[in-house]
Amino acid sequence: MNYTAIILIPLIPLAVFLVLGLFNRKIGPGVSGLVGVGGMLVSTLLSFYTAFEYFMVLGKVSGAYPTLVESTVWMNFTETLRIDMGVLIDPISVMMLIVVSTISLMVHIYSRGYMKGDEGYTKFFSFLSLFTFSMYGLVLATNLFQIYIFWELVGVSSYLLIGYYYTKESAVAAAKKAFIVTRFADLGFLIGILLIGYYTGTYDFETLNNPEGATLTHWAPASFMGLSVLTWGLILIFIGGAGKSAMFPLHIWLPDAMEGPTPVSALIHAATMVVAGVFLVARLFPMYFFVEEGFALQIVAFVGAFSALFAAVIALTQTDIKRVLAYSTMSQLGYMMLALGVSGYEGSQGLGYMSSMFHLFTHAMFKALLFLCAGSVIHAVHSNYLKDMGQLRKYMPITHLSFLVAALAIAGIPPFAGFWSKDEILVAVYQQNTFLYVVGIFVAGLTALYIFRIYFGIFWGKDNTYEHRPAESPASMTVPLIVLAVLSATVGFIPFSEFISPDRAGFDAHIDIPMAITAVAVALIGIGIAWMLYKKESGLATRLTDRLGVLYTWAHRKFYMDEVYLFVTKNILFKGIAAGAAWADRKIVDGTMNLIGNSTVLFSKKIKGMQSGRVQDYAMAFVSGTVILALLFIYLWTS
Amino acid sequence: MDILSLFIVVPLLTVLVLLTARSLKQARMIALIGTLVQVAMSVNLLFAYLRERAVSDELMLFTRDLVWFRDFNIHYSVGVDGISVALLMLTALVVLAGVFISWKMEELPKEFFISLIVLSTGVYGFFISLDLFLMFVFFEIAVIPMFLLIGIWGSGPREYAAMKLTLMLMGASAVLLVGILGIYFNSGAGGGPLTFNILEIAEVQIPVEAQKLFFPLTFIGFAVIGALFPFHTWSPDGHASAPTAVSMLHAGVLMKLGGYGVFRVAMYLMPEGTLHWSWFFIVLATFGVIYGAFAAIRQTDLKYINAYSSVSHLGLVLFALLMLNKTAWNGAIIQSLSHGFMTALFFALIGMIYERTHTRDVTKLGGLLKVIPFISATYVIAGLASLGLPGFSGFVAEMNIFVGAFQHPEIPYRIASIFAVSAIVVTAVYILRVVGMMLMGPLKENSITPMEKATWYEKTGILLMLLPIIGIGVAPLWLSEMILESIQPFIQGVL
Amino acid sequence: MERIIFYALALIMIASALASVMSRRMLRSVIYLLFVLCGVAGVYFMMDYNFLGAIQLTIYAGGIIVLIIFSVLLVHHIEMRMEIAKTSKLLFTGLACALGMAVFLSVIYSYEFEVTGQSSGTEVIDIGEKLLDYGEGGFILPFEVISVLLLAAMVGAIVIAKGTALAENKNENT
Amino acid sequence: MIEGISIYELLTVSTILFFIGVYGFITRKNLISVLISVELILNGAAVNFVVINKYLYPEVLQGMIFSIFIIAVAAAETALAISIIINLYRKISSVEVKEVETMKN
């Protein structure tokens, strides 16, 4: 393998970030766009080159894809614990390289058109590069701490990009919320790292994940509340992953994050950063699977399933198209988690793992496409809301077709990409747990319903009168759409199970015909309902929502999760604890100190009178002093 | 003249020359040259240290010993190890930055710079002293000018703040003096003469009962200046009233004397006392870490926010020191450096913002990124560094502290570390709150007036502190190796 | 017999002394003081220090008391009652004095005095000789010092008593 | 030496006198009364001198002569004090101790 090439992949965006960031105001928009796209292009080519080298040239070594590690010490903690910086090449990291490069390149190109004329154009590209660099670092990480470092960095790039329109209050609030919620989750992650580091003595994925290694054969060095400490560590790490991947109940930041520019939503909040949580669980999959017979993995599965359902229901009721897509993302991420959660380890048992990665891959393509299309639409009509759209297929044919491809892909209609991965997931879930399978298939139907609801709402539906006649976006925006549409339609045919499986050996996956038919039928039903309700503007939808009443309101208000959080943070943390601490500090702690000071002053005022100049007082002091001294001497002498 | 005594002589010479200055221009030029020489000296010291360390395995290098007071066996005794060298560099850089930030100090400039440099002399002396008494003398030299600097050049209720700060620090040094004398009078336990020399005392086993008695005194004496909860209340008021450069120097350097003293005197000389008392002070420190962060959330005055943030961050230093292992100690020292640069940077930026908007109330500010982009962007970076973002020194320090603290074999200590770790979330909250309210969002009245962009001296001052933060954050290995090497003998002494 | 006389004297002295410091009428308190002084003189007589007793009677009981009475009459109305200090202060002072007394007495009683036997009485001539003796054991120097002191005190008393008047005169002259 | 009376009894009396004087000195608010108390103290001390002279060292006269000196000094002191008091009375029409404090200004 050519390590120079691999190491260059993250370093090029870093260099771009530094150049654009430092000379922010000296570089014109034209140059910065070119530098950004050029840098990304080189990175992408290198990524594909690496993938080719790894899968095709190097291939399997003794029946499994090898793990290649190249690292250098960054900081030493103790004799055993240290932070390395390096690259780890294995099937999933190579796959992630492809995903990140492809999407990032497309988004870079798209942004040249989308952000045209924005005053922070150069800044925007530098942030994008920072994000891409961090994401590369994350997927290539060789150990828990390295992944944590880049985890934080993607978090901050996300913060900067969500808050890109920093004069908008809502954007600032959303950025803050995203950062703090994920930071809270990262707290779990960090504590998990500390726990695992303490009990296993290493942060290296290689050592931790080795099925024959000491960690996995002796997974219970100590227990806490009936569970192995390693299980606790893994649960805590999953909390970190859940925060980034917007799993219930840490999902509340994702819909708000749509305040960022749309290309950002496509890149960060749909395709790459939010899958970091899934990637993290996959990265530690052997640990999740072997420690305590996969107890933590069960939690992953159930949280994933619930989030998938929860988000899909909310997505049905939202009117902001980006928010619909955000909840859709959350729902699909839930799918991936669910698939990971039900996966086995060896051979075709690893179907869940493989399908999860597969879905991650296809989802990145079609979800990025959906966002970019949405961006294109928003660009044209200057609004995020369904009510301002309708009949747009007449004005924006390329966008329309791309969106349709993506919608079909996410709904799981063959032969589009989503069908293949989703089918594998459902098969994997069905093998493990029927209940979760029912949830999964129900969510599949909901997915088709909500995505076609906005599809019909945007491109069909009522005939809006537009102030400015909407026009198709410029080439810089439509070219990425076309590329991604082609990818969304075709990537499903990649034989993923050959390349990716938990034990790296690969296996043969095949379509389970009855399962596939069921899934497609459910999806078609969903599409059909959407067609009935939303194709033409009819009162049907509103009547239905009225009929559902409370249920609809609840879903529309996102089950009041924001309000709950607001209550907890504002009333309990902010007004309760923080205000309490501030008050206590001024009044009690400082008050005590001031009291000491004041009582000293008071005391001195009192005893100031002793030096009164009155002979009698002195005499009194003299007598008392003499008496006391005499007593003292007597006592000392006699004893 | 040996290389260390220069650190006392050069500032004093600068002060002497400053006495002849007749205008602001002259005063600041002299101060600038003086502090530049100090920075050059500290860089030179760093390289000399690295060269010397390669060939010598003495505990302290460049030692020098002159009898000062024969009757009490007080010596002028100096020497450095990696920790002192790092802290000396911090001091030199922050003082230099402080001179840049005070470029336009119109009011009594000569006296201002003199006080500033006297203060720095005390700090230098403290870091190089190997004699407890000498150390104490320098400690006092460092504290006294604060009173003048806040009382004369301060703002707001400055007399109150100056008085409070000085009284609390003086109270602390009274306690400290008792502790030091306690050490002194027990230093003859090995049969030798009574001595103030740290290295000599370390050879002697101070009786355990005496250690139990004098450790808390010494610890509290030092920890007050390190803003240990609940003795931190001088710091918000003091910082809020102090002029910019003084806040920088105070928070950036002076508060580091606490951790350094705890490490070098209290813990090194009284290991049994440390073990006996550590749980108690860990509770205080952990509480302080979280409490400071929460208190910072509610403040509206920028300086108060930063002061409470310091309480939280320096709480971590003491917390890490008490965890008694070298990873945590390494983290504590790096945290001292990192916090020194970060908080000095913050105060410098706050000073600049105040100069332009005439308010420090975050609720009255908004959208500053638009009007003063350089200062605001630096503020964002400083904020991110402060909340422990990787790539900045704060992350390196905190991770060392957390990993180190988590290596403690006893479970309650590890639970305490989990509490301390949780402060990173609260820190994020108050930092982002300020950034969101003050720098982002729509412009508010105070921000609309056309504002001067950052001037060259302001930028220089900012960069002087920003570069080390990033430098340590990106490549921590050499620094942590240098510190670890110096910690090694201490950890053997204590454990 | 002498015992009875002594005890009577002691009783009178203590009672009068107490009355003297507690009486709220100043003239009475002076008179009580007179009793004390006479009692002391009595003790001197009992100890065969006749000269001393005589001096005590003439100078103290005669001179000083008269002086004080004059001043009292000058500055006070006879019937005027003096204000006294706060009860707490009285109590506290009383306590301190009682304590001090206890300490003194306990020391005195715990000390073994070596009382020598009977001695001859003292003649005035002995005293005179001793006072004017400049040899060993003579008191010529203290005697002279006391003389000078007395002189200085007299001059001082006159100056102070006349001070303002003189100053006023001066002022008038100029 | 008094027949049948030990030194202890005499010293007790003098001590009592002394402390009564001290008590008066501290508690009385009037300058003349203070003066009276001082006289008591002086007398207590003088008796002490005499008694110790008589009982322990009868062959010398130190104690007695000191008593004579005390009497002399007392006389001088009284004279001075009285003159001051009278002078003061002329100025502030009071001989209360607390009034005298105004002199400090």
Neighbours of A274 (CB within 10 A): 27
Q: Tell me the two tokens of residue B246.
A: 């003084």
Angle at A127 between CA A122 and CA A130, to 5 degrees: 130
pLDDT at C164 over 60: no
* Residue D37: inside a domain: yes
Q: For residues A73 and A191, state if they share a domain.
A: yes
Q: What is the CATH number of the domain that holds D37?
A: 1.10.287.3510
Confidence at D41, pLDDT banded by 50, 70, 90: very high
For residue C89, the chain D residue with the least C-alpha distance is: D27
Task: Phi first, then psi: give them for residue A154, nearest 5 degrees.
Answer: -65, -35
Smallest CA–CA separation between B425 and chain A, in Å?
A: 6
pLDDT at A41: 92
Which residues, at least 6 apart from A563, have a Cβ–Cβ distance to it below 8 Å?
Answer: A557
Do the Cβ atoms of A246 and A281 come closer than 8 Å?
no
Closest to C100 (Cβ–Cβ): which among D19, D35, D54? Answer: D19
Structural domain span for residue D27? 7-104
Which residues, at least 6 apart from A631, have a Cβ–Cβ distance to it below 8 Å?
Answer: C99, C103
Q: For residues A384 and A411, state if they share a domain.
A: yes
pLDDT at C15: 93
Q: State the total domains in chain D.
A: 1
Exposure string over D48-62, b if 16+ CB within 10 A, otherwise e: bbbbbbbbeebeebe
For chain A positions 565-624, those within 8 Å of chain D (CB to CB) are 612-616, 619-620, 623
Least Cα distance to A424 among A358, A331, A504, A485 occurs for A358
Least Cα distance to A167 among B353, B439, B378 occurs for B439
SS3 call for A346: coil
Q: Do C100 and A627 touch (CB under 8 A)?
A: yes
Closest to C2 (Cβ–Cβ): which among D5, D28, D96? Answer: D5
Q: Give the count of Cβ contacts less than 8 A between chain A and C.
A: 20
- For residues A208-230, give the mean pLDDT: 77
Neighbours of B51 (CB within 10 A): 11
Q: For residues A183 and A317, state if they share a domain.
A: yes
pLDDT at C11: 92
Does an interface of 3+ CB pairs under 8 Å exist between C and B?
no
For residue C100, the chain A residue with the least C-alpha distance is: A627
Least Cα distance to D77 among C60, C13, C14 occurs for C60
Q: Which residues does chain A have within 8 Å of residue B439's beta carbon, measured at their own beta carbons?
A: 166
For chain D positions 28-87, those within 8 Å of chain C (CB to CB) are 28-30, 32-33, 35-37, 39-40, 43, 46-47, 50-51, 54-61, 64-65, 67-69, 71-80, 82-87
Q: Do C103 and A630 touch (CB under 8 A)?
A: yes
- Residue B452 burial class via C-beta count within 10 angstroms: exposed 0-12, middle 13-18, buried 19 and up: exposed
Query: Final residue of a domain: which of A556, A571, A597?
Result: A556
List strand residue ranges (DSSP E) for A195-309, in order. Answer: 223-224, 227-228
Least Cα distance to B256 among B341, B192, B361 occurs for B341
Confidence at D20, pLDDT banded by 50, 70, 90: very high
* Residue D86: inside a domain: yes
Q: Do D34 and A616 touch (CB under 8 A)?
A: yes
Q: How far apart are CA C18 and CA B253, in angstroms?
A: 70
Confidence at A611, pLDDT banded by 50, 70, 90: low
Q: Tell me the two tokens of residue B50.
A: 């690295």
Q: Which of D15, D26, D103 to mutate to test the interface with A (most CBs of A within 10 A)?
A: D26
Percent of chain A beyond pLDDT 90? 5
pLDDT, chain C, mean? 82
In DSSP terms, A332 is beta-bridged to: none
Q: Do C97 and A623 touch (CB under 8 A)?
A: yes
The number of helices, as runs of H, and strands, as runs of E, in chain C is: 7, 0
Q: How far apart are CA C143 and CA C148, in angstroms?
A: 9
- Residue A524 burial class via C-beta count within 10 angstroms: exposed 0-12, middle 13-18, buried 19 and up: middle
B242 backbone φψ class: left, alpha, beta (φ>0; ψ -120 to 50)? beta
C-alpha torsion sign, points C29, C34, C35, C37: positive
pLDDT at A45: 92
Q: Tell me the two tokens of residue B252.
A: 């950036």
Do the Cβ atoms of A109 and A480 come closer than 8 Å?
yes
* Residue D2: inside a domain: no
Least Cα distance to A380 among A367, A401, A365, A399 occurs for A399
Q: How far apart are CA A159 and CA A257, in angstroms?
A: 9
Do the Cβ atoms of A30 and A47 come closer than 8 Å?
no
Q: Give the count of Cβ contacts less than 8 A between chain A and B.
A: 141
pLDDT, chain B, mean? 86
Smallest CA–CA separation between D104 and chain C, in Å?
A: 18
Residue the block writes with tokens 């074999």: B409
Domain C1-82 carries which CATH code?
A: 1.20.120.1200
For residue A599, give the H/E element and its range: helix A590-608
Q: State the total domains in chain A.
A: 3
Structural domain span for residue A595? 557-605
DSSP 8-class letter at A394? G
pLDDT at A161 over 70: yes
For residue D102, the chain A residue with the least C-alpha distance is: A613
Q: Do D29 and C85 touch (CB under 8 A)?
A: yes
Domain range annotation of chain C: 1-82, 123-174
* Minimum mean pLDDT range among A246-255, A418-427, B443-452: B443-452
SS3 call for A75: strand
Does an interface of 3+ CB pairs under 8 Å exist between C and D?
yes
pLDDT at B447: 58
Query: Final residue of a domain: which of A521, A556, A591?
Result: A556
Smallest CA–CA separation between C72 and chain D, in Å?
A: 7
Q: Do A612 and D101 touch (CB under 8 A)?
A: yes
- For residues C84-106, give the mean pLDDT: 85
A558 backbone φψ class: left, alpha, beta (φ>0; ψ -120 to 50)? left
Confidence at C172, pLDDT banded by 50, 70, 90: very low
C-alpha torsion sign, points B11, B15, B17, B18: positive
Tell me which of A512 and A263 has the higher pLDDT.
A263
At D55-93, the pLDDT tens digits run 888 888 888 888 888 888 888 888 888 888 888 887 777
- Tens digits of pLDDT across chain B (495 residues): 678 888 888 888 888 888 888 888 888 888 888 889 989 988 998 888 888 888 877 778 888 888 888 888 888 888 888 888 889 999 999 988 888 888 887 778 888 888 888 888 999 999 988 888 889 999 888 888 888 888 888 887 888 888 888 888 888 889 999 998 888 888 877 777 888 888 888 888 888 888 888 888 899 888 888 888 888 888 888 888 888 888 888 888 888 888 888 888 888 888 888 888 888 889 989 988 888 888 888 888 888 888 888 888 988 998 988 888 888 888 899 999 999 999 999 998 988 888 888 888 888 888 888 888 888 889 999 999 888 888 898 899 988 999 888 888 888 888 888 888 888 888 888 888 888 888 887 777 665 667 777 788 888 888 888 898 999 888 888 888 888 888 887 777 766
The number of helices, as runs of H, and strands, as runs of E, in chain D is: 4, 0
List strand residue ranges (DSSP E) for B312-384, in order. Answer: none
B491 touches chain A (CB under 8 A): no
Q: Which residues does chain A have within 8 Å of residue B168's beta carbon, measured at their own beta carbons?
A: 593
Q: For residues A599 and A621, state if they share a domain.
A: no
At B234-293, the pLDDT tens digits run 888 888 888 888 888 888 888 888 888 888 888 888 888 888 888 888 998 998 888 888
